[in-house]
Structure 1
């Protein structure tokens, strides 16, 4: 599965990073072997999180994916084993790729992975401005 979102290292291990409504920085993982007693599984979902200080994070990046399908740039939203779910806000792109219009400015559909050239975008982030 493609990983998108904000990631950073805490004690040399990469975690997904989130910010809660109180502007607290939390690291998250499903890897039980990478955690200590300070991680909690609040919703009993298998996702463990821990509140950390921004100064404890290194190598922070924002990762997102786009795709090129028949020369058109599209957003990659989800994936299955064989397909990507793609989206566009352009009527021309939606029509060219024959994907359904789901509301006024959104076209959304599934395409075979073999038709998509993935474009990964990574941007470095200063943890102090998260």
Structure 2
């Protein structure tokens, strides 16, 4: 599955970024090579976190995986399964054109062969205000 969510660069290393219940910024990873002695594995799950200040990130961005299928863009819904990828759209006209199944009032989904799909990651940069 391609990356999805908030990511940031801290000390020239990319981490997933989240916030805790107190709205503190956390960087997190399950890669032991990215972990220093000030990271914690709070739940003994193999996921290490470190509380940081947002301004200590050199980059912050949101990544949304998308699929190009028959020259149209769709949402990627899940991991690959049996050589297929699960796509979705809220566009009823597009869904009818490609025979997607209606799975919710305004949403349509379909399994398609992986070889018919190009997965891309759309990135939206988020400004970081540095303290002066």
TM-score, normalised with respect to structure 1? 0.84
3-state SS, counterpart of residue 79 of structure 1? coil
Give the aligned partner of residue 40 of structure 2: 40
Cα distance in 2, alignment partners of residues 97 and 116 from structure 1:
13
Give the aligned partner of residue 19 of structure 2: 19
Give the aligned partner of residue 70 of structure 1: 70
Q: Which runs of 4+ in 1 moved over 3 A?
A: none
Cα distance in 2, alignment partners of residues 44 and 110 from structure 1:
35
Cα distance in 2, alignment partners of residues 67 and 33 from structure 1:
30
Kept in 1: contact 2:5–2:64 (CA 8 A): yes
Where does structure 1 lack aligned partners over 5 or more consecutive residues?
none
CA RMSD in angstroms comes to 2.0
Where does structure 2 lack aligned partners over 5 or more consecutive residues?
none
Aligned length: 129
Give the aligned partner of residue 57 of structure 1: 57
- Report how far residue 56 of structure 1 moved: 1.2
